[in-house]
Structure 1
């Protein structure tokens, strides 16, 4: 079985992209693992299949029916798989790379400010291209699963990482996929973390979770005079391990840090709604939108294309 692929990345969170425009490619977990293998395959954090949303619906994915009901223009679906072959709801960096891939295939044109609506297991995502070349994604609604009590106390979970003497408090954030955010005090502590093993989360989420370790870096004034926040982050992604970036993780980190900052602020309304998140692979921007949505913006690059015989 020979597959034509494209390799792409968003702040070095990298993906193998497959154009399945007829919707007849059925990827098995072992094939995903082979594609993502950095020694025996192409190498990536995950695999993205671009397929017709209608074909995904016919294959039995009820969420694809819901996507088309919510947005008939979302004719393309991002079928995202983690590097270990497991199915995931969506990926924020992957959505941007998906949009760049769709443009390269002539399936979308965002050059005139047009918007691409696409389907994911986390719902409809809308992407536009900014003048500087970054792709901005309305990631849709988000929530704190622990509710107001968790926000008020600052945590609803505990995380234990390798080398720590005791667990640290953490806040759960849902962006269509699960996240658990832990605050650290210093960049040096973040740099010294051992993320070769997955941090333990208590209570353990039923479907696993991405764990973000973050250091709030305070606020600054942007070139347009707007006050923005800044956060540094590392992440351990479920089904993958540590990655150089995570889009939904960056959103979760910004939302958690903003909640913590608001709880201690004399005037919560003055806490920034825009945050720049520094990750090992670069930088992304997170912005709160009206209606309880959040936007993620950052680069998306297609590196090369080729063919791989999966044998």
Structure 2
């Protein structure tokens, strides 16, 4: 696979931009190698690249940039000077977001393909939510040869112990489901509202192409996860593992096939509801596959799953921007 390259400033309408297309459990992205920050990545260009009919198509656009070239990367460099690469993530609607758990894995694979990461050591990657550390790990037997594991950083319940005790601190109305549902807010570097449903029939009935209505309404928007707990089992190593099934409406995107931070939030919420003795390891089934969430002793949460690069695309930027 050839290396994707940014060929100039969009305002000057350079005629070619080579990008890659990749996904993590079918949460898909347009990826740009812009190590020198030469590309003027405007919200309009993001929207047009992400457009599934008139562009390349994706849930978001991710640019890999050397941290020294991007002001947004300065806090990550302050947190850890080893974060020399920055994941510049944009939602499909052109807005910026703190980070994306599936996107972190895919951009790590891109960095490996480009030769800026050896795939053996730890990749220290800056994001707007702080530094993320990525390593390659063995995948479960049914998966591809390698998975990527990401330390997603600290998590917390914005509602504190009171929300944990009550099990909820918000309400969410979902199209296709009767009455508003209780939701638990979970922060994993970006905001989430997790709603437990009674069964898989309810999960299937939800119409997530319509944005759920959240009360109280978060000023910066939120991601909404609908989850059905599927129980617990003990794996071959004697570790207690929980399992949940999830669908998600992502802020700035709509329903997606997977959401990495959403999977973390879903597992953390179900673990909170389960109480003392609940598993620290969770398998989260999403429409696009399965990821593994591990609650770490230091207050962080870890996400592991596959990453795939499927194509390089040579974009005619002038034609892309000319579409009404």
1:71-104: CA deviations, max 9, x gaps?
1111110000000100000000000001000000
Moved over 4 A (4+): none
Q: CA deviation at 1:188?
A: 1.4
Note the residue ranges of structure 1 that are not aligned, 5 or more in a row. 263-267
Structure 1 CA distance, aligned partners of 2:287 and 2:138? Answer: 24
- Scaled by the length of structure 1, what TM-score is found? 0.94
Note the residue ranges of structure 2 that are not aligned, 5 or more in a row. 1-13, 140-145, 319-324
Aligned residue among 33, 39, 46 for 1:25: 39
Aligned residue among 237, 240, 265 for 1:224: 237
Q: Does structure 2 conserve the Cα–Cα contact (< 8 Å) formed by 1:96 and 1:300?
A: yes
Structure 1 CA distance, aligned partners of 2:116 and 2:218? Answer: 37
User: What residue is the counterpart of 1:172 in the other structure?
Assistant: 185
Q: Secondary structure at the match of 1:179?
A: strand
Q: Secondary structure at the match of 1:21?
A: coil
For the pair 1:87 / 2:96, whether they are aligned, the reply is: yes
RMSD: 0.8
1:136-185: CA deviations, max 9, x gaps?
00000011001110111000100001133311000001111100000001
For the pair 1:13 / 2:27, whether they are aligned, the reply is: yes
Q: Does structure 2 conserve the Cα–Cα contact (< 8 Å) formed by 1:90 and 1:121?
A: yes
Q: Secondary structure at the match of 2:138?
A: coil
User: What residue is the counterpart of 2:301 in the other structure?
Assistant: 294
Q: Secondary structure at the match of 1:34?
A: helix
Structure 2 CA distance, aligned partners of 1:81 and 1:69? Answer: 22
Q: Does structure 2 conserve the Cα–Cα contact (< 8 Å) formed by 1:77 and 1:118?
A: yes
Aligned residue among 249, 258, 277 for 1:236: 249
Kindly report which structure 2 residues correspond to 1:100-179, keeping only aligned pairs within 5 A, or say none. Answer: 100-110=109-119, 112=120, 114-132=121-139, 133-179=146-192
Aligned residue among 203, 213, 225 for 2:216: 203
Q: CA deviation at 1:252?
A: 0.1
Structure 1 CA distance, aligned partners of 2:247 and 2:106? Answer: 20
